[in-house]
């Protein structure tokens, strides 16, 4: 897959998703793209730690994890200039203003949508 | 007689002369056009005038071309219907005058009530009188203005009426040359005050019955149409005056004894012309011819010539001299004796009042207490009447200083009345200086401009009379051109220029017997013109042959000598006398006296031959005494003639032939002398009687004066009483009206009112009170305590007593016995007009309805106040005017701090702009209903309210304000927000579930296998998700029960006791519940497919517990299959394995240990039991 690599090695994707069923799908897509999954992480605390310290090229963040909002993780990624996808069942109005322009995929999303999103992230990395 | 006439005549000359010189014209008669001259006729009347007016207008032609103006004394407070009433008597238009009414020909204007009417340039002017007194002279005011405005085209008529209004006006018209008429006394039973006063004023041309006045007016008009008065040269020398004038003078002198030939001819012609007008005689010659034949005409002509006009303080400089030089001595005299002054020829009184003022001021200055009596006399009775009234026009302002006007006069309308203190000093009486006895013991005599009209002899006698009347050193004050020539012995000049003289105390005070003299002269004058020149000459010749004679009066004093009487006279020694008994020769005295007395007694001739010795010769004379047939001034006169006889035996001697008569003669002489003495004594007695009579006469004058004054006072009292009567009538009418008003008020008022007197007796009540107190007609006068009222507690006697005792009002509510009605009872003291308490007034006002309304209102108010909603009232300006308890609760403001504030207080700043449009909506009547809006509370909190604003309308439907009802919707709002939150959450979850299902389906399909197999797998997994989910949505909220989860999952496979489930119930979160649920489902599915549940003997035990591992709680779930077919580990990692191992590990950080043992599959799942996973449930008995 063309997009699965970044800087000559498989692209590493942080997945923050508390729902294992969905995480399986994401995992499948990442596998399909030839990328590498970091996660999935179901707890915000763990996600924050990973976002700060782990090495990865991009991320897929579920907005709502274990009843908490994933926005602090997004802030860190923005700061680290790591591109990411926000996956959410809420509409855009429930996002904080500074995240309004972030790439999103709306739950329930199809595999194709997720693939497209990840491809775009990969394209941005190049 | 003549004094006033001449006195006034001189004034007439002065005044008229000035009057004429103003225009520089005199008048004569000439023929003019036949056009009707326009006359304006002013008619004045008072009481009784109506009848006279009607009679006048019924006789008056309606096309005369004259304008009529009626001035009637009218009650100012009543509308006059005079115009209407007179309108029935004439076809001329009769209108009530208004300001600006033109006095047009053939119209009648009537004065409106309560005003003064004047005429200016033929236009009537209406003015408000400055005082009530001024109204009484409304006729004078109008006639004077008429005289000024219309001159000799003015006509003044005085009809019936009390008082003297109009007299001055008539005088003014006469002065201006107009015609003046008065109603005759016998006419219409008229009230004669005004007509008589006018006539007495001396200025009425004709006195007629009312019916005859119109004819006289028409004749006057016709005469004036034929003649106009044209100017002629004045001051024509007497010799050149029309010949007719001489004839007129002559006739006047013959008939009245008055000589007017020295009067100014212009004045005379004017006056004569006026008489000619009245008599409708066109030619002066004809008038002169008729003068003697028309009855009373000479007197009327003379009256016409007399215009009794004089002035106050005439020759003011001389008055000053009198005040400085004469008065101090008089005032400083004996205080016991009154000052006595005689003003002879006082005319209309100005001179007397002037002297009175002078004396009053002199006495005041010197502090003298002397009383002053001024005898003011005139022969003209009308002038005296005028003087007595003491009422003068404003013209006197020219002669009297402002100080004196203020001090000595009282202003009555436009007139001045002499003040009482001056009036009382003066005694006015008619008195003929020549005929009547003089006043005596006088300090001052003023007789100015009178003597010049007397012959020098008469002047001398008058001066002698004054000498007699004055006290020693008394002052005589004459006119400027008068002297005391010929009486230098009696008076000496004090100030010759001022003509002030002082009495010399020369001869004895014997009153000169002047009385008969002028009468005789007058008689002679009266005859003389009749004498023919021939007769005169013949008489003169015959006088030489006629016997000598003397004329004697009744006292035997010689009045005339004629012929050579000297032979018979021999004046005796001693006091000079004219007594015949002293003057005749001795022998003649007795016979003469006897003859004269006999002649007087018998009124016939008596004669006697008397011998006497003269110059030694015996002589005889025939003494003839014959009374003069006519009496003069009541005095008999006798002519004693001495008819000479030839000497001879006129008297027969006795037989002895010698005159032996000497002794007889001596005896007779002695007798005669005794008689003479007796007579002289009698004479003296007569003289003293005379003096007594004089003083009686004076007393009489004073008495008459007092009576006149009393009469005037009575008249004025009468007038006052009339006005009082009118006022009382008005008051009575007003009382009747008030009473009627009160009666109507009583009958119509619905307020029960009861008047109770001081003894609690019912005095009066209204119909409403009758009902409440059960009163019947006739209950007036019964005590209130006797009345069985409908009121609870009976008649309020106690209250009445309280009010009467404390004089304060009582007010309380009182119910009826049946409780059906409530009254507000007010009880007040009854104060009569003198502010004395005389009972109480009880009023009862029915307040039943009001009470009910009050209750209703209180109820409504309670509802409003208890409402949890804010109910706020405000007006159209948005100002809050009511505020309930709910409003206080919601907004935090107390009613006291917010009422009066604007509604905008409750708005946030950004809402202020919306307010005006909201108010506009309100004004247009558009309601605002259940409108959710935010408002700001007292503590600046923003709250949400549902607002309903409805307009408040007044009874007429006009919007006057609004009520705003605000309901706090904070809770509702919170619920809504919660719901919104839930909806969003639900949406999220549904989408999440769908994503999960999508993933399950996708993952299942990826594993490969038959469609039916996959379909069953998908179906089973979705059902597992649904079961896990249904637990969450069931009772218990978001948490699901682990036991329920396991039980539900395994229920389809349970057969008897093949499945054993053990564990305390644990609540799982939704996430844990779904993951664990799916894992159980996969385990169960595998068990059914391959494990213990695939056979009948197989057993499954599911047990869980919370274990504590080094302080951290774990949920341990043990899955143990036994008795089933032998199992083997699955070949690959299928989705099922993912769900059991990966999902639990990833999602719940669980440790999953699955073993495929010979005996069956075991699976141990250990999950850190955090909050995100679940919690223990309190143990139950189940």
DSSP state of B569: B
A33 interfacial to chain B (CB closer than 8 Å): no
> Chains A and B: how many Cβ contacts under 8 Å?
80
φ/ψ bin of B1042: left (φ > 0), alpha (ψ from -120 to 50), beta (otherwise) = alpha
Give contacts of A 45-74 with B, CB under 8 A.
64, 66-67
Q: Which residues of B touch A107 (CB under 8 A)?
A: 988, 991-992, 994-995
User: Is B165 marked active-site?
Assistant: yes
Task: Spell out where B99-152 has E strands.
Answer: 107-110, 116-120, 123-127
The residue from B10, B28, B46, B164 that is catalytic is B46
Q: State residue B1138's pLDDT score.
A: 77
Q: Mutation target for A interface from B999, B1070, B1142: give the one with most A CBs within 10 A.
A: B999
The three-class DSSP label of residue B155 is strand
Task: Spell out where B401-547 has E strands.
Answer: 409-412, 415-418, 426-430, 442-447, 470-478, 491-495, 500-503
B1000 interfacial to chain A (CB closer than 8 Å): yes
User: What CA–CA distance (Å, rounded) separates B444 from B341?
Assistant: 5
Whether the Cβ atoms of residue B1020 and residue B1001 lie closer than 8 Å to each other = no
Task: Spell out where B583-736 has E strands.
Answer: 606-614, 617-627, 637-644
**Cβ atoms within 10 A of the Cβ of B817, count?**
13
User: What CA–CA distance (Å, rounded) separates B962 from B879?
Assistant: 10
A42 interfacial to chain B (CB closer than 8 Å): yes
Whether the Cβ atoms of residue A44 and residue A75 lie closer than 8 Å to each other = no
The helix/strand count (H/E) of chain B reads as 36, 44
Beta bridge partners of B95: B109
Q: Which residues of A touch B1081 (CB under 8 A)?
A: none
Instruction: Tell me the backbone φ, ψ of residue A5, rounded to 5 degrees.
Output: -105, 155
Nearest CA in chain B to A24: B999
Q: Do A22 and B999 touch (CB under 8 A)?
A: yes
Q: Which residues of A touch B1172 (CB under 8 A)?
A: 43, 66-67
Using CB atoms, pick whichever of A20, A25, A88 lies closest to residue B1142. Answer: A20
User: What CA–CA distance (Å, rounded) separates B697 from B719?
Assistant: 33
Q: Do B988 and A64 touch (CB under 8 A)?
A: yes
Q: Which of B167, B140, B161 is nearest to B210 (CA)?
A: B161
Q: Which of B765, B745, B746 is nearest to B755 (CA)?
A: B765
User: What CA–CA distance (Å, rounded) separates B936 from B891?
Assistant: 7
Give contacts of B 958-997 with A, CB under 8 A.
984, 987-992, 994-997
Q: Which residues of A touch B1006 (CB under 8 A)?
A: 28
The three-class DSSP label of residue B1109 is strand
Q: State residue B261's pLDDT score.
A: 58
Element (DSSP H or E) covering residue B1166: strand B1161-1168
The three-class DSSP label of residue B1120 is strand
CA B479 to chain centre: 51
A28 interfacial to chain B (CB closer than 8 Å): yes
Whether the Cβ atoms of residue B650 and residue B611 lie closer than 8 Å to each other = yes
Is the Cα torsion angle B273, B275, B280, B284 positive or negative in sign? negative
Paired tokens of B562 = 């004629």
Q: Which of B1052, B1002, B995, B1058 is nearest to B1023 (CA)?
A: B1052
Using CB atoms, pick whichever of B1135, B1138, B1146 lies closest to residue A42. Answer: B1146
User: What CA–CA distance (Å, rounded) separates B475 from B491?
Assistant: 9
Q: State residue B9's pLDDT score.
A: 38
In angstroms, the Cα distances linking B1079 to A71, B740, B1082, B1150 are 30, 115, 5, 12
User: Is B73 marked active-site?
Assistant: yes
Q: Which residues of B touch A18 (CB under 8 A)?
A: 1071, 1147
User: What CA–CA distance (Å, rounded) separates B12 from B18?
Assistant: 10
A92 interfacial to chain B (CB closer than 8 Å): no
The three-class DSSP label of residue B520 is helix
Strand-strand pairing, B822-831 and A9-10: unpaired
Q: Mean pLDDT per 10-residue run, chain B (1182 residues)?
A: 39 36 35 60 82 87 90 75 83 90 90 88 86 74 88 87 79 81 64 71 80 88 69 44 73 69 60 77 80 79 64 85 88 84 88 92 87 85 81 78 91 83 87 77 86 70 86 87 75 86 69 40 39 69 78 80 78 77 80 82 81 73 81 73 65 50 80 86 84 80 79 78 80 88 84 87 86 84 85 83 87 86 89 84 88 88 83 85 84 85 80 79 77 80 82 84 82 82 78 80 77 82 79 56 82 80 81 82 83 82 83 85 78 74 80 83 86 70 42
This prediction has a pTM of 0.35
DSSP state of B1139: I
User: What CA–CA distance (Å, rounded) separates B84 from B82?
Assistant: 5
B1071 interfacial to chain A (CB closer than 8 Å): yes
Q: Which residues of B touch A40 (CB under 8 A)?
A: 1146
Q: State residue B454's pLDDT score.
A: 65
Q: Is the link from the previous residue into B525 a cis peptide, with omega within 30 of 0?
A: no
Q: State residue B266's pLDDT score.
A: 58
The residue from B140, B149, B152, B165 that is catalytic is B165
Q: Which of B12, B136, B11 is nearest to B75 (CA)?
A: B136
B562 interfacial to chain A (CB closer than 8 Å): no
Q: Which residues of B touch A108 (CB under 8 A)?
A: 991-992, 994-995, 997-998
User: Is B10 marked active-site?
Assistant: no
B1006 interfacial to chain A (CB closer than 8 Å): yes
**Cβ atoms within 10 A of the Cβ of B645, count?**
13
User: What CA–CA distance (Å, rounded) separates B256 from B272?
Assistant: 16
Contacts of B852 (CB under 8 A, 6+ apart): none
User: What CA–CA distance (Å, rounded) separates B297 from B279?
Assistant: 10
Using CB atoms, pick whichever of B1002, B1144, B1147 lies closest to residue A111. Answer: B1002
Paired tokens of B343 = 């003003």
Q: State residue B67's pLDDT score.
A: 93
Q: Do B1002 and A19 touch (CB under 8 A)?
A: no
Distance from CA of A108 to the nearest CA of B (A): 4
Distance from CA of B990 to the nearest CA of A (A): 8
Using CB atoms, pick whichever of B998, B1147, B1172 lies closest to residue A20. Answer: B1147
- Per-position DSSP letters for B813-875, written without gaps between them: EEEBTTSS-EEEEEEEEEE-TTS-EEEEEEEEEE-HHHHHHHHHHHHHHHHHHH-SSEEEEEE
Whether the Cβ atoms of residue B917 and residue B934 lie closer than 8 Å to each other = no
Distance from CA of B1172 to the nearest CA of A (A): 7
User: What CA–CA distance (Å, rounded) separates A78 from B508?
Assistant: 165
The residue from B7, B73, B220, B760 that is catalytic is B73
Q: Do B998 and A20 touch (CB under 8 A)?
A: no
């Amino acid at each position: 897959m063309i997009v699965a690599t970044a800087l000559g090695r498989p692209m590493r994707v942080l997945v923050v998703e508390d729902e294992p069923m969905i995480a399986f799908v994401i995992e499948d897509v990442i596998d399909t793209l030839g990328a590498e999954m970091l996660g999935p992480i179901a707890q915000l605390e763990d996600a924050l730690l990973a976002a700060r310290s782990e090495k990865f090229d991009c991320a897929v963040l579920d907005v709502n994890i274990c009843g908490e909002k994933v926005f602090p993780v997004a802030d860190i990624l923005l700061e680290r200039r790591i591109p990411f996808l926000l996956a959410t069942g809420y509409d855009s109005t429930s996002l904080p203003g500074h995240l309004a322009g972030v790439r999103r995929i709306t739950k329930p999303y199809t595999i194709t949508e997720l693939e497209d999103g990840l491809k775009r992230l990969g394209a941005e990395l190049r | 007689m003549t004094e006033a006439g001449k006195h006034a005549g001189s004034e007439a000359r002065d005044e008229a002369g000035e009057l004429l010189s103003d225009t520089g014209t005199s008048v004569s008669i000439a023929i003019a056009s036949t056009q009707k001259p326009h006359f304006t006729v002013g008619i004045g009347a008072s009481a009784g005038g109506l009848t006279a007016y009607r009679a006048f207008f019924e006789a008056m032609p309606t096309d005369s071309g004259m304008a009529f103006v009626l001035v009637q004394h009218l009650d100012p407070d009543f509308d006059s219907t005079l115009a209407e009433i007179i309108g029935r008597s004439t076809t001329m238009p009769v209108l009530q005058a208004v300001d600006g009414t033109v006095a047009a020909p053939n119209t009648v204007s009537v004065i409106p009530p309560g005003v003064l009417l004047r005429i200016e340039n033929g236009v009537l002017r209406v003015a408000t009188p400055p005082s009530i007194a001024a109204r009484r002279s409304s006729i004078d005011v109008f006639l004077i203005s008429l005289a000024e405005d219309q001159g000799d085209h003015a006509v003044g008529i005085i009809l019936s009426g009390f008082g003297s209004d109009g007299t001055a006006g008539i005088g003014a018209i006469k002065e201006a040359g107009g015609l003046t008429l008065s109603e005759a006394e016998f006419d219409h039973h008229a009230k004669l005050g005004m007509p008589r006063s006018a006539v007495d004023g001396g200025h009425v041309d004709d006195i007629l019955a009312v019916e005859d006045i119109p004819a006289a007016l028409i004749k006057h008009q016709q005469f004036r149409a034929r003649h106009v008065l044209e100017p002629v040269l004045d001051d024509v020398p007497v010799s050149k005056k029309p010949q007719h004038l001489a004839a007129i003078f002559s006739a006047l002198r013959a008939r009245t004894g008055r000589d007017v030939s020295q009067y100014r001819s212009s004045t005379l012609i004017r006056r004569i012309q006026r008489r000619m007008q009245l008599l409708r005689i066109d030619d002066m010659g004809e008038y002169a011819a008729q003068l003697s034949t028309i009855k009373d005409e000479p007197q009327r002509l003379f009256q016409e010539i007399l215009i009794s006009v004089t002035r106050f303080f005439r020759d003011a400089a001389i008055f000053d001299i009198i005040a400085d030089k004469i008065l101090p001595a008089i005032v400083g005299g004996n205080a016991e004796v009154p000052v006595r002054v005689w003003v002879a020829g006082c005319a209309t009184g100005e001179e007397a009042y002037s002297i009175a003022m002078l004396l009053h001021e002199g006495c005041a200055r010197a502090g003298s207490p002397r009383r002053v009596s001024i005898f003011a006399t005139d022969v003209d009775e009308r002038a005296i009447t005028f003087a007595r009234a003491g009422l003068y026009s404003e013209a006197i302002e020219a002669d009297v200083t402002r100080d004196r006007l203020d001090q000595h006069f009282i202003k009555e309308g436009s007139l001045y009345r002499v003040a009482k203190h001056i009036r009382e000093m003066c005694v006015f009486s008619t008195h003929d200086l020549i005929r009547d006895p003089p006043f005596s013991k006088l300090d001052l005599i003023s007789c100015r401009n009178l003597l010049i009209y007397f012959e020098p002899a008469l002047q001398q006698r008058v001066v002698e009379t004054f000498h007699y009347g004055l006290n020693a050193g008394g002052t005589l004050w004459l006119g400027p051109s008068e002297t005391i020539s010929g009486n230098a012995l009696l008076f000496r000049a004090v100030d010759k220029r001022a003509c002030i003289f002082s009495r010399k105390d020369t001869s004895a005070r014997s009153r000169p017997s002047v009385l008969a003299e002028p009468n005789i002269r007058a008689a002679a004058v009266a005859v003389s013109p009749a004498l023919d020149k021939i007769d005169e000459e013949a008489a003169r010749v015959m006088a030489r042959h006629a016997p000598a004679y003397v004329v004697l009066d009744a006292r035997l004093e010689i009045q005339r000598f004629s012929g050579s009487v000297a032979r018979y006279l021999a004046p005796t020694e001693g006091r000079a006398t004219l007594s015949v008994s002293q003057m005749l020769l001795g022998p003649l005295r007795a016979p003469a006296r006897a003859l004269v007395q006999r002649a007087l007694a018998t009124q016939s001739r008596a004669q006697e031959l008397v011998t006497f010795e003269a110059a030694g010769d015996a002589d005889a004379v025939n003494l003839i005494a014959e009374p003069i047939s006519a009496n003069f001034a009541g005095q008999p006169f006798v002519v004693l003639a001495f008819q000479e006889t030839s000497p001879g035996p006129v008297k027969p001697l006795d037989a002895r032939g010698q005159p032996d008569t000497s002794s007889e003669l001596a005896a007779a002489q002695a007798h005669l002398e005794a008689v003479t003495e007796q007579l002289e004594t009698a004479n003296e007695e007569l003289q003293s009687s005379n003096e007594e009579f004089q003083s009686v006469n004076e007393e009489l004058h004073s008495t008459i004066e007092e009576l006149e004054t009393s009469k005037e006072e009575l008249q004025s009292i009468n007038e006052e009483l009339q006005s009082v009567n009118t006022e009382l009538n008005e008051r009575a009418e007003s009382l009747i009206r008030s009473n009627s008003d009160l009666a109507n008020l009583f009958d119509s008022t619905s307020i029960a009112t009861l008047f109770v007197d001081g003894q609690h007796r019912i005095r009066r009540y209204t119909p409403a009170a009758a009902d409440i107190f059960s009163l019947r007609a006739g209950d007036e006068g019964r005590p209130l305590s006797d009345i069985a009222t409908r009121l609870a507690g009976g008649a309020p006697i106690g209250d009445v007593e309280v009010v009467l005792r404390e004089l304060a009002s009582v007010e309380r509510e009182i119910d009826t016995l049946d409780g059906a009605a409530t009254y507000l009872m007010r009880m007040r003291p009854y104060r009569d007009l003198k502010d004395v308490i005389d009972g109480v007034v009880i009023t009862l006002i029915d307040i039943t309805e009001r009470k009910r309304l009050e209750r209703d209102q209180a109820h409504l108010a309670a509802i409003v106040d208890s409402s949890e909603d804010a109910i706020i009232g405000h007006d159209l300006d948005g100002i809050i005017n009511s505020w309930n308890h709910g409003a206080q609760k919601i907004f935090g403001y107390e009613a006291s701090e917010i009422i009066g504030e604007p509604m905008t207080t409750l708005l946030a700043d950004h809402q202020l702009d919306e307010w005006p449009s909201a108010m506009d909506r309100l004004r247009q009547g558009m309601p605002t209903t259940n409108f959710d809006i935010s408002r700001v509370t007292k503590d600046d909190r923003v709250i949400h309210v549902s607002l309903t604003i409805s307009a408040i309308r007044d009874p007429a439907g006009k919007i006057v304000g609004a009520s705003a009802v605000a309901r706090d919707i904070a809770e509702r709002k919170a619920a809504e927000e919660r719901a919104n939150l839930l909806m969003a959450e639900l949406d999220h979850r549904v989408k999440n579930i769908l994503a999960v299902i999508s993933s399950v389906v996708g993952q299942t399909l990826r594993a490969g296998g038959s469609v039916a197999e996959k379909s069953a797998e998908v179906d089973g997994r979705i059902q597992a998700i649904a079961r896990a989910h249904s637990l969450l949505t069931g009772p218990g909220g978001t948490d699901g029960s682990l036991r329920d989860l396991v039980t539900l999952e395994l229920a389809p496979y349970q057969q008897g006791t093949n499945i054993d489930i053990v564990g305390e119930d644990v609540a799982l979160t939704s996430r844990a519940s779904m993951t664990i649920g799916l894992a159980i489902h996969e385990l169960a599915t595998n068990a059914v497919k391959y494990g213990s549940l695939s056979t009948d003997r197989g057993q499954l035990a599911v047990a869980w517990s919370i274990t504590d591992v080094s302080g951290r709680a774990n949920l341990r779930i043990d899955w143990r299959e036994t008795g089933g077919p032998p199992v083997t580990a699955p070949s690959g990692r299928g989705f099922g394995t993912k769900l059991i191992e990966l999902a639990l590990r990833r999602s719940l950080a669980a440790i999953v240990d699955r073993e495929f043992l010979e005996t069956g599959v075991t699976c141990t799942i250990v999950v850190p039991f955090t909050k995100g996973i679940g919690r223990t449930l309190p143990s139950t008995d189940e």
